[in-house]
Amino acid sequence: MPAYSEKVMEYFMNPRNVGEIPDADGIGEVGNPVCGDMMTFYVKVDGDRLADVKFKTFGCGAAIAVSSMVSEMAKGKTLEEAMQITNKDVAQELGGLPPNKYHCSNLGADALHKAIEDYLQKAGKESPQV
Ligand code: FES
């Protein structure tokens, strides 16, 4: 049993922002071909800020905790700030992850960034320089 931090357990047991945004402005989906886990992020944009962020993750506990943390970190941020959230930041916020679970944390920020890029593309805007 890998040693999870209390924060990982807490975010896994009580995930924040789970669900779909039916009229999302951007959607980002990533998957890991090895474990087969999938993560989808939905963003709602107001001006240049993320008014709402939700996710659906079919994956392990660490992946759920990671998506939950990413959604909380991103909500209310500007698109530019959200694009600067790295997978490492997320793992750090969670108090670290066991080494064999690093790949799980690599999905979180990627899915968020994809959702933002999807929005920018649909809106015909340039991706913010990060
Ligand atoms: Fe694949 Fe966690 S085991 S995302």
Q: For residue 65, give the nearest of 96, 35, 34 by alpha carbon.
A: 96
Count structural domains, the chain: 1
In a domain, 116, yes or no: yes
CATH for 63: 3.90.1010.10
**Total length of the chain:** 130
45-64: per-residue pLDDT in tens? 999 999 999 999 999 999 99
Residue 95 confidence (pLDDT): 94
Q: Which domain holds residue 97?
A: 6-121
How far, in Å, from the CA of 59 to the mean position of ligand 1? 6
User: How do strand 49-58 and strand 38-46 relate by DSSP bridges?
Assistant: antiparallel
In a domain, 1, yes or no: no
93-108: per-residue pLDDT in tens? 999 998 888 888 889 9
In a domain, 130, yes or no: no
How far, in Å, from the CA of 77 to the mean position of ligand 1? 27
Q: Which residues of the chain have pLDDT under 50?
A: none
For ligand 1, atom 1, which residue shows the shortest CA distance? 35
